Structure 1
């Protein structure tokens, strides 16, 4: 009985802590206001952007927490992934993401790319290496290479670079709500808390409309 009571007390304390954290969210603590605000890609919806890099271990570890949350987002929230481009392999991986997105296959292979890099030790640092791996996931090699080197993808790469600069991002993973508020795992207090902050900012934007 004593253990049951203690468990109940701890569970209650945990819920209270989460509630308190949600109530105490404030600029300069859990999140930073972006000035000037960045226009959203789909007007009329509340946009949540994740800036990430396939080679980032923190991004990889964040995925199991982030993905279920994304799947349950309401209709008025638009989620977007933007690859961070800080040079070298960051740019190469970012271009791969954009190519896969352009082909419409990114959702099917997103997790597999993360696993290949972080569990299988693949670098995926050249288009040819990417194409060879992606073929094992059902992606046509020739079509991928053609898309990867296309003008359209290269234009999207430049757009992604400009977005990261506009969001004033220097590391990943980072979330941005409605082009106005930037926050990350460190400022929020952990992966789960990051999504608590995201939910609060989404509610704040919904109320402001």
Structure 2
């Protein structure tokens, strides 16, 4: 009877062991050297760092949207635009303006499509202002926000965080300020959120 009980316990633990062994630092994700403080310590924060102009971010977007539909209650999902080049700044500002005005969800997919499918050069203040007008945004309001303290302070905070993450490119997904997941670490876009789910569970257990 004792042997049977031991065998039963072992069989139950085997799937958990297999899952735990599936990913590790350097295999699926990389551990951030110094954890970065998250906005809400009561939740597990998942942050996608991205650039609207990045074709890889565009390719990942359907997977992001599919994963977001079933985000657990203890997970706080965020977007964070990166600025790794001069041409990225206008798009980062566009994200924060859209977020402040409450239209980011409305414009996100269309902005990606306009850039990557329609090949529109939406990389200047004026071009982006014209784009935003189609979503009910007053053009003057867009221009007022473009170089505002609110937008620039959020850019500075994001830049500091991204440097702390040790990120070198996009897209990347940060889990709870501790782990960086990318297509390279996860061996493809299709595996990114498998690793993210694994790390969420890891954080729950911690």
Structure 1 unaligned regions, length at least 5: 1-18
Give the one of 88, 91, 94 matched to 2:92. Answer: 94
Instruction: Output the CA distance in 2 between the equivalents of 1:124 and 1:146.
Output: 18
The 10-residue stretch of structure 1 (58-67 or 82-91) with the greater mean CA deviation from structure 2: 82-91
Any conservation in 1 of the 2:183–2:191 contact (CA below 8 Å)?
Answer: yes
CA drift at 1:71:
2.0
Give the one of 41, 44, 54 matched to 1:43. Answer: 41
Shift in CA distance, 22/59, structure 1 to aligned 2, threshold 3 Å: farther
Give the one of 146, 156, 159 matched to 2:157. Answer: 159
Give the one of 51, 54, 57 matched to 2:52. Answer: 54
Instruction: Output the CA distance in 1 between the equivalents of 2:175 and 2:41.
Output: 13
Any conservation in 2 of the 1:22–1:197 contact (CA below 8 Å)?
Answer: no
Partner of 2:199: 201
Give the one of 130, 148, 151 matched to 1:150. Answer: 148
Any conservation in 1 of the 2:103–2:135 contact (CA below 8 Å)?
Answer: no
Structure 2 unaligned regions, length at least 5: 1-16
Q: Of the two, which has the highest radius of gyration?
A: 2
The 10-residue stretch of structure 1 (141-150 or 108-117) with the greater mean CA deviation from structure 2: 141-150
CA drift at 1:151:
0.9
Partner of 1:28: 26
Partner of 2:14: none
Instruction: Output the CA distance in 1 between the equivalents of 2:192 and 2:19.
Output: 11
Shift in CA distance, 22/91, structure 1 to aligned 2, threshold 3 Å: farther
Taking structure 2 as the reference length, what is the TM-score of the superposition? 0.88
Q: Count residues in correspondence.
A: 190
Q: What is the correspondence of 1:1-209 to structure 2 with a 5 Å cutoff?
A: 23-208=21-206
Any conservation in 2 of the 1:22–1:196 contact (CA below 8 Å)?
Answer: no
**CA offsets, 1:110-156, max 9 Å, x none?**
11111111011112111111011111233221211212221111111
